[in-house]
Structure 1
Amino acid sequence: MLAKLIIMKYDANQLKITEVQKSKIEEINFDNLVFGEIFTDHMFTCDYEDGTWKNPEIKPYGSIELDPSTKVFHYGQAVFEGMKAYKDDKDQIWLFRPQQNFERINKSGARLAMPEFPKEYFFKGLEELLKLDKEWIKKGFGNSLYIRPFVIATEECVSASPSTKYKFMIICSPAQAYYSGEVRVQFSEKYSRAANGGVGAAKAAGNYAAQFYPTNLAQEAGFQQIIWTDANTHEFLEEAGTMNIFFRIGDKLVTAPTSDRILDGVTRKSVIDLAKDMNIEVEIRRVKVAEIVDAARSGELKEIFGSGTATVINPIVGFGYKNEKFELPKLEDSYGKAFKDTLMKIQYNQAEDKYGWRYQVK
């Protein structure tokens, strides 16, 4: 006997909205923002109980109360996403490839045995939240609203098993153009971000907790970040800190393939598409530490840059490996700069979007 397929339909019109009585926006100095410290007036919440998502709500931003036995504290069932909203010169609000973030948060959740979040609630909740807090999205190239969707396990129980209850939330934080100064990285010789069969491809909270300690060690040695190497041999370069990583050897762009160790970055995919359209040769393959060291010594290594939502493109000016340091050339016509300018013009509705990446919030 065939099992009956049950498709749950979610009605986005069930969304309940409670507005703040008075906005706190006038108290905020938008010329002096610290990334991720200030949050908008409202947040979106939705709960999973009895096998279904229910009670989608936008309400005033505030604390949530959790029992000490709540499973997220004990077994780490927590995943998140990073997105941005942009406002163009006509006050129109845009997102960049949000379908990718929606799909990835559910992929991350599935890896941690968490239930899939419905598309109807995700997009309705996100769009209504952005419309409600639209004044927090400032115009100007580089200004944006950082969006953090996340899911946590909320069952009150310390048994070592998947939670039966979850909370999905979206919070937002105004952001300025990201500039981290000159970044030098250390090629990891001991620590790895993830291993085969692990959760490296998921945006799991624990991935980020595990990278703080080795990053602190790198900073003590005079570097700002780490480029992680594979867990088996430490011979291959995989990601940089919390970013995907690209290397320019001569005129060729090289980056590691995604896997169950490497996050499938939205910006990464966009850079690869742009490079191909710019007639830049792209190789997606495993990248040996020895290859990059040799290229740096011969002068063939022209650029290293990270890609991610917060930074878009983060150029790396030098790296260290086995007590040896290498500086990269300063280029006027860098690939990284070209990719960043092109991506941001698409994001801010200042250039044609032939890829269909822009998503308007109406």
Structure 2
Amino acid sequence: MRAVLLVLATLTLAAQDERAFLESMARLERQDPAGKKDLEDGSPLRAGALAMDPAKANEKDRYAAATWLWATNLIRGFHHGKDQTYLQAARGQADLLKAWSLLEGVGGELARSRDGLRLELAWRLLDLGRMRTAYAAVSGRSDLNVRELVHCFFVSAHLGDLAAMKKHAQALTAQGGKLEGLHGAAEATLTMFDYESLLKAVDAGRPGPAAGPLAVRSHRVFRQRVKIQRISGGDKALLKESESWPRDWVAKPDATTGLLQVGAAAHWVEGSAQPPVSGFLDATRLYLVGYREVQGEGGDSGRQDQVWDLHPDPGTPGRWRGTNTLTVWRAGGNPKAGPALQVQFEVEWDMRATETYPETP
């Protein structure tokens, strides 16, 4: 049945592919109920896009199909089956891989749009090789628009080009970009990197350039324990409460969690109880930062900042040691007066890589 659909779709769209994809995009933009049918797995339009021959279709048709595949991928959302890991599913998105192949050889007046689209596809595919290729074609322009700047900002973080990341962020905000929205996106999606917090880590001078080759990896943190080093702050009630906290090592009962690494950047995938924590990881250091705005009652509203700074334990393979600093700020408080509470913990993590995709040319 699927083969029949592909044949019918190819025949239906012959000689009018570009128009068909543009009309579908228009339906989707105006939220026409008819546009929802185009998003279905078995829709003729989708089948036609996936069946398009990059060697035979003209450039405008291929570009329109690739654009449509990318846009509908975002609308449909990312889903991975129960038999696949997140990385396997992300790197194997058939619609985006097809879109990439359709853009091969597209040029002329479409060259700039092609380069920008390839950068976005590479980012969504978590593919460092494609990121590097597409980033080289886009990032050097002096007249980047907001859409190009956003993805140059994202990709420069993964490639470990921290100076360029700061430059792209400055240009983005100069054009009216709001980085706070990136933090909100990370709070809404567990696997989304918090690029706003990544930039704050870079602005603070941490970390330095990545050490060693880049890769895409999943890590499993299967053991965590913490020990309070010191407590300070200006909130007497919180300080009083902290007196009852244990001062010895405490193992987290729900220690198993995931750490997603895409190039130089890393993201802790824990859950809604933990603010989105993103940072940088290489063979010598793991540095993660994040924050959460808290809405409470009776003076409990405010902000909680988290900073993790860990290094490998030379005596125990897979073990990382360092500090976790929790800082609590009360809403309406005077920042110059310092935080309501700051707790620094000594931390031990046992972590191992469970899945690795080295960077390929």
* Rg larger in structure: 2
- Which TM-score band (shorter chain)? under 0.3
Q: Name the TM-score, length of structure 1 as normaliser.
A: 0.24
Greater RCO structure (CA 8 Å; 6+ sep): 1
Q: Which has the higher strand share?
A: 1
Higher helix share: 2
